[in-house]
Structure 1
Amino acid sequence: MNIHFIAIGGSAMHNLAIALNQKGYQITGSDDTIFEPSKSRLDKRGLLPEKFGWFPEKIKKSIDAIILGMHAKPDNPELLKAQELGLKIYSYPEFLYEQSKDKTRVVIGGSHGKTTITSMILHVLNYHDIKVDYMVGAQLEGFDTMVHLTQENEFIVLEGDEYLSSPIDMRPKFHLYKPNIALLSGIAWDHINVFPTFENYIEQFSIFINSLTKGGIMVYNEEDEVLKDIVENTENTIKKYPYKTLDYRIENGTTFINTALGEMPLEIFGEHNLQNLAGAKWICQHMGVDEDEFYEAIASFKGASKRLEKIAENDSAVVFKDFAHSPSKVEATCNAVKAQYLTRKIMACLELHTYSSLNADFLKEYEGALNKADVAVVFYSPHAVEIKKLEKVTKQQIKDAFNRDDLIIYTNPEEFKTFLFSQNFENLALLLMSSGNYGGLDFNKFKDLI
C-alpha cells in the first residue's frame, strides 16, 4: 500500500508514518518544516523528505491513500492535487480507525489525564508482556514509538483527543474511533477557538459516549459531576463503571495507596494521578489483567513524558516539568506538588501559550489555579498573541484573572530566564508548566544548577 503524508513532521503524524513503514507500507511525505525529534527519527528510517515544502507533483494516481495532518491548510497545493485526482484522503484518526476495525478498540478520553492514563495502561500491559496496538500522545519509557500497528494483536489502545481531525474534517478526533471500551477522565472547558461555549464543549463528550458500540463498556470519573450526569443519562445501551480517587497517604515525600494486599508505595503522586490510576485499573481489568497483577506493574510506573516529569533534584530542591496549561490541569498539578512537599517553598511558573489561554475572555477560568504556590509566575509572549490574532492582554488583566496581587509576570524570555536561574534553590520545589518552552528555555540547565 502506497501512502503519502501531507504534514509528515507532526508529533502524531511522524509516529504513524514510522508505524506504517514498520508494517511494510510504502511511505512518502512532505512538510514545510520539521523539528527535532521528528526530523532525526524520520531520517533514521529513510522517511525524511529530501526538501522542505509542498510539491503537488508528488501526488499521483498510484497513491492508495493520503493522510492529512492538522498543520496543513485547506488550500495546501498537495491536498488540492489529491482532491483533483479523486484520491482517498484520511485524517489521522480516520486512518487509525481503518487500521483497527477488526480489533477491540479501547479509547481513553477526557479534558485532562488522557496521556497519563493511556501510559499507565500500556506500562502495565508491557510489564506483563501483553502485546497490543496503541497510539499515545507522549514518548514512553520502554516503547520505541508513540504508535504501533500490527495485523495480529487483538486490542488497540487509543488516546482520544477532542480536538479537530484535519483541516477539512471538523469532527473531534475521538468521534471517529467507535470504541468497544472507553474511559472519560473529566470535562473542563478547553479549545475555545473551536468550542466557543462550555455547552458546546460538553456536547462533544455526549457524542463520544453515544459513539460506543452497543453493549460497550464506559469507565468514568464519578467525582466529575458534569461527566457523571451525561454518562448516567445516556440512552446508549452501554455498561457503566464509575471510579474515584484511591485512598492514600503521604509519608516523607512518598505516596502510599491502600490495596487488598496492604499499603503500596508509588513513584508518582498527586490526587489527579490517583484518579488516573483508578481509571487505568478498571480498563486493565476489562482487558484481562487482574487487580493484583495491575498493582504489581503500576508500582514501577514513573509517569509520562512532560507529566510531572522530574528533571532535576538534590537533597533540598526539585524541579518538575509539566505539560499543564489549561486551568483545571494547572490547578491539579499545583495542588499535587504542594501536597507532596508541604515543608518546601513552592514556585509555580506557567506559560500562557495556547489560543485559549491567551484569550482575554477565557483568562477568568484561571482564577485560583495558582493559589497553592508560594510564588506564582506567569510568562507569555505578546508576539504569540499577535500571531494568533487575538486582542492584546495586559499584565493587569492577567493579575485580575488569577485573582492574585503578588503574581509575577514576564513577557521577555531572557528576563524570565535570569529570574529563574538567580533563585535560591534551598528547600524549593520548582514547577514549570507549559505546552511550549518559555521562548527557548533550556530545561537541562537545572541539572547543573542544583
Structure 2
Amino acid sequence: MSQNHQRIHIIAIGGAVMSSLAVALKKKGMYVTGSDDKIYDPAASLLSKHDLFPEQVGWQADNIDESLDAVIVGMHAKADNPELVKAQALGLKIWSYPEFIRSQSEKKQRIVIAGSHGKTTITGIIIHVLNYWNRSFDYVIGAKIEGIDETIQLSDAPIIIIEGDEYFTSPLDPEPKFLKYDHHIALISGTAWDHINVYPTEDSYLRQFKKLADNTPKAGSLIYCNEDSHAKKIASKEVEDVKATPYETPKYKVKDGRFIINGDIPVALFGRHNMQNLEGARIVLDRIGITKEQFYEAIPSFKGAYKRNNLLAENASTAVYTDFAHAPSKLAATSAALKELHPKRKLTACYELHTFSSLNKDFLANYAGTFKSPDSAIVYYDNQLIEEKNYAPITLEDIRSSFKRKDIQVFTDSGELETYLRGQQWQDQDLIFMSSGTFGGLDLASIAHHIVQ
C-alpha cells in the first residue's frame, strides 16, 4: 500500500463497494473517515462493526481540511457536493474509487470482468476457485460471496480480480469505471442496453465496451461470450498481439433438481446463463494457471453471490427465490432458469421496476418478450418514487403493452402485493422475486416461509 495517503476521507462511504474500501484501507493502517446522506444495511452494519460509521449522517464541509492526504469520491455524490467542492478548493488529491484501486495495483496483473449481466457471478466464481486453491490474489466485487468477509481486498498479492462496472466513474468523470483499471485480461460476458440516464442510446452504451476491448494491451487477453451478438462483434475483431478467446455454454443436464456439468459434476448454480458464466470464469482461470481439473474440483462448493438466485425457503413442491435482476436481459434469463430447474412446476415471477431505466416510460419497450417463461407474471412499482423523481407516469396499459403480456398483474402498493401473494395456493408452484430494490420494504423471507408452510 502506498505510504503517500495516510489520512483518507471517503465521500459517499455508504455504498457497497465504498464501505468495503473503507474497511480495507483501515485494515492497512490508514486513518479513514467518511460521509454519506443515506446509509443502509449491509453497509451500515459493516461500517459500525469497524468503527467507521460517520458521527453525523449528511454532507459536512467541515469534514474536509488540509490534514487530509486524499479524498476518495463515490458515484453517489454529485458534482456540487459541499465536501467535494471544498476538497477542490483546498487542492487536495481527489480519487475516484476505480482510480484509487488502479493506483494500488500498479505491479499486479489486472483482470477485469465486464458485461451487462453475469459479471458479479463470474467474478465470484473466480474468487471462490482461487480461494479453494489458496492462491494469493486481491479482488473487487460488487456483492458478498460465501467465504469472504468484505467485497474488496488489497494486499501485496500479484494479481487482482475486478468486477468492472460500465457506469460512470465519479461526478467529475463520466467515463466507465472499467476503463480506469488498465486491464491485462478482460472478459465481456454479454451486453444489453442499460443506464439510459448516462447512455441515452444503445450505440452510446455499446461503444463503452468497444473502448474496453480496444484498450487491451499487446500480449493481453480478451475473453468474450460467443453467444452474445454484441460481445462477439466487439471482441472478435482481430487485433495484433492480443489473444481473443470466445466461450460458449458448456454441455450440461438437469437431474433431480440439480444442474450437472462436465459429465457428472453437480453445481449449486442453475440456469443456462449460469452454466455460461461458469465457462467464462473457467477460461479466465485457465489464463492464470488453474487447470480444468482444478476448476471442476472447486466449483461444486460455490454457492453463488449474495442476492443472485438465492433460495429463501422451500418444501417438497414449492420454492421461493430472490434475485438481483434489474434489467430486461436478467429478467428473461432468471425466469427461464427456474423453469428449467423445475419444469413440472408452475412459476410466478414478481418483478420490481426500480432503476432509472426501468421507471422510464420510453425504456419499457425493451421488456418486450422477457416474461415468456413464467406462468404468472407480476410487476410492482412505487408511484411515489416516480413522482419524487419527476418521471412521466406509467399506466397499467403501458406495462402490459411493453411486456407484450395482457395477463400481467400490476401492483403499486406493497401491502396489497403481500396480501395477494399470501392468499394464493402454491402447491407445485415456485415464486421468484426480482429487483435491485426492496419491493417497498416487504419482508420477503417472511412471505416465503408463509408460502412453504
Q: TM-score range by the shorter chain?
A: over 0.9
Which amino acid is the alignment partner of residue 275 of structure 1? Q
Secondary structure of the residue that 2:224 maps to in structure 1?
strand
The one-letter code of the counterpart of 1:80 is V
Q: Give the match's secondary structure for 2:57.
A: coil
The answer as to 2:214 corresponding to 1:210 is yes
Distance of 2:390 and 2:212 partners within structure 1: 31
Corresponding position of 2:401: 400
Partner residue in 2 for 1:154: 158
The one-character-per-residue Cα deviations of 1:157-210 (angstroms, maximum 9, x if unpaired) are 000000011111111110101101111100111111111111111100011112
Identical counterparts, % of pairs:
48
> 1:430 & 1:251 partners in 2: Cα distance?
21
Alignment partner of 1:243 is 2:247 = yes
What secondary structure is seen at the aligned counterpart in 2 of 1:212?
coil
* 440, 446, 449: which one aligns with 1:447: 449
> What is the root-mean-square deviation in Å for CA atoms of aligned residues?
1.1
Counterpart selection for 1:59 from 58, 61, 64: 64
Note if 1:233 corresponds to 2:237.
yes
Q: Is the 8 A contact 2:146 2:304 kept in 1?
A: no
> Are 1:385 and 2:390 an aligned pair?
no
Contact 2:110 2:185 in 1 (8 A): yes
- Cα shift at 1:424: 1.4
Q: Distance in 2 between matches of 1:418 and 1:70?
A: 37
Counterparts of 1:376 and 1:105 in 2: how far apart (Å)? 42
Aligned partners of 2:56, 2:349: CA distance in 1, in Å? 41
Deviation at 1:224, TM superposition (A): 0.9
The number of aligned residues is: 446
Q: Is the 8 A contact 2:380 2:439 kept in 1?
A: yes
Q: In structure 2, what is the equivalent of residue 170 of structure 1?
A: 174
How many angstroms apart in 2 are the aligned matches of 1:212 and 1:148? 24
- Measured in 1, the distance between the counterparts of 2:405 and 2:259 equals 30
Deviation digits for residues 307-345 of structure 1 (CA, Å, limit 9, x no counterpart): 111111111110110011211110011111111111101
Residue matched to 2:282: 281
Deviation at 1:9, TM superposition (A): 1.1
The alignment's TM-score, normalised by the length of structure 2, stands at 0.96
Q: Within 2, Cα distance between the matches of 1:49 and 1:147?
A: 20
Corresponding position: 1:361 with 2:352: no
Whether the 8 Å contact between 1:113 and 1:276 is mirrored in structure 2 is yes
Matched, 1:128 2:133: yes
Q: Give 3-state SS (helix, strand or coil) of 1:277's partner.
A: helix
Residues 333-367 of structure 1 show CA distances to partners (whole Å, capped at 9, x for unaligned) of: 11111111111010000001011111111111101
Q: Does 1:74 align with 2:79?
A: yes
Q: Distance in 2 between matches of 1:268 and 1:183?
A: 20
**Whole-angstrom CA distance in 2 between matches of 1:316 and 1:303:** 23
CA contact (8 A) 1:209 1:234 kept: no
Q: Aligned residue for 1:115?
A: 120
The answer as to whether partners of 1:107 and 1:159 remain within 8 angstroms in 2 is yes
Tell me how far 1:448 sits from its aligned partner. 4.6
Give the whole-Å Cα distance in 2 for the aligned partners of 1:315 and 1:175.
47
Distance 1:414 1:51 in 2: 32
Equivalent of 1:33 in 12, 15, 38: 38
How far 1:438 moved relative to its partner? 0.6
